[in-house]
Amino acid sequence: MIDRSFLFVPGDRSERFDKALSAQAHAVILDLEDAVAPQRKTEARSAVAAWLRTAQARVYVRINPLGTPWHEEDCAVLASPAVRGVMLPKAESAADVARVAARLGEGQDCIPLVETVAGWFEAPALARVPRVRRLAFGSFDFMSDSGIRGDGPQLDAVRSQLVLVSRHAGLLPPVDGVSLAIDDAAQLQADARRSLLWGFGGKLCIHPRQVPVVHAAFAPTEAEVAWARRVVDALAAGPLGAIAVDGKLVDKPVAQLAQSILQEAAAG
């Protein structure tokens, strides 16, 4: 099963690092960029580096973008074996992403954050960079850069393009942006289900309370599992040729969807 939840933790809040791991997120991201004020960047990097030396689990690190005063020293942190990979913000150039990805070691990958209009137009090239395993969408930064005022249907075209670009490049489904709803589980559930329906494979989280809601949203519902079982049972018992389930024709793509739903349900 692919990673569904990516939980950000501010890099200057080292007391939260282990707590983040206990939240059961599929991936934890120690954040040296947006979550850290400029005057605390050096302190945050030192805290992350110190924690990584004795870390009991592997994590991602979001570094500061190329062209900032902190980028080069942030990259040095990536040498730790406790780093699963790097999240690169404001990704706009395949060549720049390749330079960062080239610094990674065995078993590490790069997740470019597409959060500007320039990055969105460059997404097909970003997706082809070696060691890029999947893309992530910085929806609120994208709204700010583009002038689009809304995170719902206003961004449908942007989201669908990232999904199609990822599929065409053979990447895992992309990771959708954060939801600001921390205490509104219903809104977060709706946001995460929208991500799933648009073809995203996971979601960025900003609080541990969001993690179980995201997991539940990406899991097949009871109705979906029941439908998938009816399809599989009908295929196993039915005669050769076309069959129908719930009054609808079952062809090869439908059968594959049913199988994938049951596999996801079995994986938990």
Q: List, for residues 1-30, the tens digit of each pLDDT value.
A: 799 999 999 999 999 999 999 999 999 999
Q: What is the average per-residue pLDDT within 137-143?
A: 97
Annotated binding site for Mg(2+): 115, 141
Domain at 5-218, CATH homologous superfamily: Phosphoenolpyruvate-binding domains (3.20.20.60)
Reported confidence tier of residue 237, pLDDT bands at 50, 70, 90: confident
CA distance 132 to 111: 6
pLDDT at 249 over 80: yes
**Vertex 51 angle, CA 47 and 53, to 5°:** 125
Annotated binding site: 62, 115, 141
Count of CA atoms in the C-beta half-sphere (13 A) of 96? 18
**Residue 86 in 3-state DSSP?**
strand
Reported confidence tier of residue 241, pLDDT bands at 50, 70, 90: low
Q: What is the pLDDT of residues 173-196, one digit of tens each?
A: 999 999 998 999 999 999 999 999
Q: Identify whether the C-beta of residue 70 lies closer than 8 Å to the C-beta of residue 58.
A: no
84: enclosing H helix or E strand: strand 83-88
Q: Which two tokens stand for residue 102?
A: 């080239």
Give just the sign of the alpha carbon dihedral 124, 129, 134, 137: negative
Annotated binding site for substrate: 62, 115
In angstroms, the Cα distances linking 75 to 61, 64, 67, 78, 150 are 9, 9, 13, 5, 33
CA distance 209 to 99: 35
Q: What DSSP character marks residue 26?
A: S
Q: Which residues contact 110 (CB under 8 A, 6 or more apart)?
A: 85, 86, 87, 88, 97, 100, 101, 104, 129, 131, 132, 133
Q: Which residue has the tokens 């049951």?
A: 262
- pLDDT reported for residue 21: 95
CA distance 54 to 70: 23
- pLDDT reported for residue 170: 98
**Residue 59 in 3-state DSSP?**
strand
Reported confidence tier of residue 239, pLDDT bands at 50, 70, 90: low
Strand 248-250 relative to strand 243-245, pairing: antiparallel
Q: What is the pLDDT of residues 104-138, one digit of tens each?
A: 999 999 999 999 999 999 999 999 999 999 999 99
The residues spanned by each domain of the chain are 5-218, 222-267
How far is residue 64 CA from its own chain's centroid?
Answer: 18
Q: What is the average per-residue pLDDT within 258-266?
A: 85
- Of residues 244 and 142, the one with the higher pLDDT is 142
Burial 148-174 (b: 16+ CB within 10 A, else e): eeebeeebeebbeebbebbeebebbbb
